Structure 1
Amino acid sequence: MLKLGVIGTSWISKQLVEAAQATKKWTVTSVYSRSLERAKEFGEPLGIEGFFDDLESFFSKGNFEVVYIASPNSLHFKQAKMAIEHDKNVIVEKPAFTKPKQYDEIAELLDTHDCHFIEAARHIHTKIFRKLTDEVKKLPQVDGAYLNVRQYSSRMHTLTPGQKPANVFKPEFAGGALMDIGVYGVYVAVSLFGMPNACSYTPVLHKNEIDVSGNALLKYDNFFVNIDIAKNTMTYQGSEIYGSKEVVGIDSILDMHKVAYYDAEGKKHASRIKVPDNPLYEEMNEFADLFINPDEKLFDYWVLSAQVGEVLNTLRQSAGIKFPDD
């Protein structure tokens, strides 16, 4: 079994630990938090025994060979770099990094260390996403796409007067709607259609200059992909990919359970694929296999991760959204 260390004690870390344990391919041994008390509060109910509040000690003394990084976005690069320097394999939450040059630096570092890197873009590691890919290939051509990535944030109340904004809404932590949930839509677009020729982002900014919603437009040779992003509203509308009279429908980009193909006569052909209760199970199952027996998929996922990072950076720059480390 692979030994896993975890940076971050949020709900996503708990979900990933439970998914890892369910695969029977991982044992989770160590947790880092800025607070030792918080690390124990998080880890003890999950059967974890190693707790750290110092990163150097975590990497040098923690009993693990793979680290999962689920800290705020702006910390990913520094922590991933530190992990590789300690010869640890890395799983990092999306978006992996905030600037293209950080991908270049990590690539150079990986060349000199015997370890691997993968971004935790969970939805592209699922059977339902592979079914989506197959259905899109059936279209006579692609004429456009509307990707709905709206989900009301439980942290929206922290933007009201007198409240301290949650990390996900802080520029210093590379937060905002685009960098939090917009990455899901960008991943789908780049996975299915490749790199766009051009792209732009029109945001709705809160007074602290962080985007709470916005519209990303990706231009391809013969069509556009419209990514509708928001953390300040809820939606119950799905997404669609168009090909003349035929359409591929998706129930949710964020939590994909159903894909349907509508033929030229409008008849619906639904896909029936069981989705695990824990949405991170499939990615952790695949990640274990890739770290145990590395193959070309690791490179393919690295390329895709870097491409998504480049698109996110271009979208952010087009909107004039700046982070402190820019």
Structure 2
Amino acid sequence: MEQIYTVLPKYFNKQSTAEENALIKRWKKENPTAFKEQKAIWDLTEGVEYIEFDSKASWSALQPKLSNAAVSAKSETKVIGMALWKKMTVAAVVIVVAVFGMNQFKHSSLTNEGTFFAEGLNTEFTTGAKGVELLAASDVLETALENGDKIWLNKGAVVEDMGARNGEYAVRVKKGEAFFDVNSRKDKAAPFFVHTSNAVVAVVGTQFTVTNKKEQTIIRVVEGVVEVMASDVNKIKLAAGEQAIISKGNIEKLKAFSPNFLAWKTGAFEFKATSIHKIALLLQTYYDVEIEVVEGTTGTPSGTFPVMEVDNLLNSLSLASGLKLEVIEANKKYRISNQ
């Protein structure tokens, strides 16, 4: 019903007649989803002036100049009126695209390594704002931020302590993994935010890790609650024991994770009759190596195993399970099988 789409702009702008209002109400009742979609599009153009156009009056002024017109004024009025509304519809679409495009550009700052954004905070840390860089070059680094909150950096991680600005405290995880132990922000302490290249974490007071790896950010919560934002319209809350993976503007929430992901901080792996297949998957990710477990291999190691060179750890696990370890290429490729 094309008439609906010519009346909707007037209705949303409160310039429609009583008859047009009745028409819209009937259509809204029959098409609630379509109405919501049109209202959402209109809301994007809020602040853009709507111009009421009297096509009949305009035609009356123009008619004397068209003495050779072959059609009546009445029929021409309809044609001109319809053409006008179509043009207004096209203009509205252009405005929506422009507004939406600007909005997307604003949020795309999340993917810009030098720019930080947190919805509703009125705060942006740009490339011109530099903080104190923390680097764990060859070993795990345990230290404190400027505000006293504790932080651990996994080997190779780079974090920038931006400090307090405009009533908020911000930290940037530029590379690798960091564990945060943040005091409660329920008191007068400044709100605490952790930024990566594609996400923002709002913290109330908790223990959690942030991993910035290529185009992916991983958040794991050990205690408390955090809010994870990929944009101001795409955000979720994570509680203790939950994790989220942020990639290309999408957030995937996962319920559980192995406590061994913190082995780099605790210094040990804990296994309780854990399948050697699951252990191999964990260690492949942790050490960035390839571990093949031959089909039919059985073994469920238990115990505490200190973090060490992968060759030594795999050898200890194999001995504890009565399995055979083959080193195909040191620090790169291994095979585990039954004896």
Q: TM-score, normalised by structure 1?
A: 0.23
Between structures 1 and 2, the one with greater strand share: 2
- Higher relative contact order at CA 8 Å, sep ≥6: structure 1 or structure 2? 1
Bigger radius of gyration, 1 or 2? 2
Task: Pick the structure with more helix per residue.
Answer: 1
Give the TM-score taking structure 2 as reference length. 0.22
